[in-house]
């Protein structure tokens, strides 16, 4: 497929055929990932491809019971990784640092770029993916299950397999609401209303069209999509909790020596 068609044809896939992804195809996808730019060409990431059904069952609960984890044949977890680099530095008598927050961010960016390259290569080959925010939110549980050593932290991950659904593309905010030329132009209230106009409608309709989500919206007395986002989907309490999990895990994985 043409790259532009692959990019514009993207939809997250949450239902999968019971069909393996060959090692040859997986290698092709991973090779595309590894061609991504990385900070200083340090490639401060690792990719963990999980196929083992027993391990996927264990990861299912760490991924907040999302069915893709067990239904898709492959789960890819992209980690910020300075473990490998630090071992190499030590073997060469160089100072061994990269144990601070900046290093984590470098690894996280590298890992994310690799993940999106792999995603595009997978979609080009007719596969589907769905990112899972649980990779970071429950990085401690996932890190334990994947046997991650210090200086390795899971950042992004997704299910990978042959699609068993054909969802319509999800809307995007209009480009003029996302792009600034030269410098940032802050938004007036009117501009915000206009940028979110279609999202308000389509997002609300999506919730109302799904009986389970509609029931939840009504039970919580939510009046609009903005309330859905902050009262149902991403509550302040849950985000505080996940922040604490990530900060504690970064500390325990030796990424917080910042003094
Ligand atoms: C970092 C990240 C985390 C995500 N986490 C989840 C998730 O946990 N579960 C899920 O079903 N979709 C998840 N998604 C998928 C988004 O919901 C999806 O990309 C968005 O709604 C736009 O839809 P589209 O990908 O089909 O265009 C995640 C996407 C990203 C980039």
Task: Evaluate whether residue 130 is within a structural domain.
Answer: yes
Statement to judge: residues 47 and 152 lie in one domain: yes
Helix (H, G, I), strand (E, B) or coil at 15: coil
| N-term to C-term CA, the chain | 49
Q: Which domain holds residue 30?
A: 3-167+238-252
Lining residues, ligand 1, CB within 6 Å: 10-12, 14, 66, 130-134, 156, 170
Statement to judge: residues 162 and 231 lie in one domain: no
- The residue nearest atom 30 of ligand 1, judged by CA position, is 131
13, 65, 68, 130: which to mutate for ligand 1, most atoms within 8 A of CB? 130
- As for how many domains the chain has, the answer is 2
Tens of pLDDT, residues 36-63:
999 999 999 999 999 999 999 999 999 9
pLDDT band (50, 70, 90) for residue 32: very high
Statement to judge: residues 92 and 17 lie in one domain: yes
Sign for the CA dihedral angle at 220, 225, 227, 229 comes to positive
Q: Answer for the pair 235, 215: CB distance below 8 angstroms, yes or no.
A: no
Statement to judge: residues 50 and 131 lie in one domain: yes
Q: Show the tokens assigned to 191.
A: 């501009």
DSSP state, 163? B
131 Cα: distance to centroid of ligand 1 (angstroms): 5
Full-model pTM: 0.97
- The residue nearest atom 6 of ligand 1, judged by CA position, is 132
CA distance 252 to 187: 40
Q: Is 142's pLDDT higher than 80? A: yes
Residue 258 is predicted with a pLDDT of: 82
Task: Evaluate whether residue 257 is within a structural domain.
Answer: no
Statement to judge: residues 149 and 242 lie in one domain: yes
Task: Evaluate whether residue 200 is within a structural domain.
Answer: yes
Statement to judge: residues 162 and 203 lie in one domain: no
Q: Is 16's pLDDT higher than 90? A: yes
Task: Evaluate whether residue 49 is within a structural domain.
Answer: yes
Statement to judge: residues 109 and 146 lie in one domain: yes
Statement to judge: residues 45 and 112 lie in one domain: yes
Statement to judge: residues 61 and 107 lie in one domain: yes
């Amino acid at each position: 497929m043409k790259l532009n068609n692959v990019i514009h044809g993207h939809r997250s896939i949450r239902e999968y055929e019971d069909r393996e992804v060959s090692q040859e195809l997986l290698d092709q996808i991973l090779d595309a990932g590894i061609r991504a730019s990385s900070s200083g060409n340090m490639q401060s990431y690792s990719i963990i491809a999980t196929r083992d059904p027993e391990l996927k069952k264990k990861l299912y609960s760490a991924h907040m019971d999302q069915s893709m984890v067990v239904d898709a044949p492959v789960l890819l977890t992209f980690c910020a990784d300075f473990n490998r680099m630090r071992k190499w530095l030590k073997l060469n008598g160089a100072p061994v640092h990269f144990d601070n927050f900046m290093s984590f961010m470098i690894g996280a960016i590298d890992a994310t770029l690799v993940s999106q390259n792999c995603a595009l290569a997978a979609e080009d080959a007719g596969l589907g993916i769905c990112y899972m925010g649980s990779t970071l939110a429950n990085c401690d549980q996932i890190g334990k299950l994947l046997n991650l050593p210090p200086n390795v932290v899971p950042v992004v991950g997704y299910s990978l397999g042959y699609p068993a659904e054909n969802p319509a593309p999800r809307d995007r905010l209009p480009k003029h609401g996302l792009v600034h030329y030269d410098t940032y132009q802050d938004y007036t209230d009117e501009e915000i209303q206009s940028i979110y106009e279609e999202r308000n409608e389509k997002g609300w309709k999506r919730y109302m069209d799904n009986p389970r989500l509609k029931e939840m919206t009504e039970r919580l007395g939510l009046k609009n999509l903005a309330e859905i986002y902050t009262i149902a989907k991403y509550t302040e309490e849950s985000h505080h909790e996940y922040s604490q999990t990530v900060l504690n895990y970064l500390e325990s994985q030796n990424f917080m020596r910042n003094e």
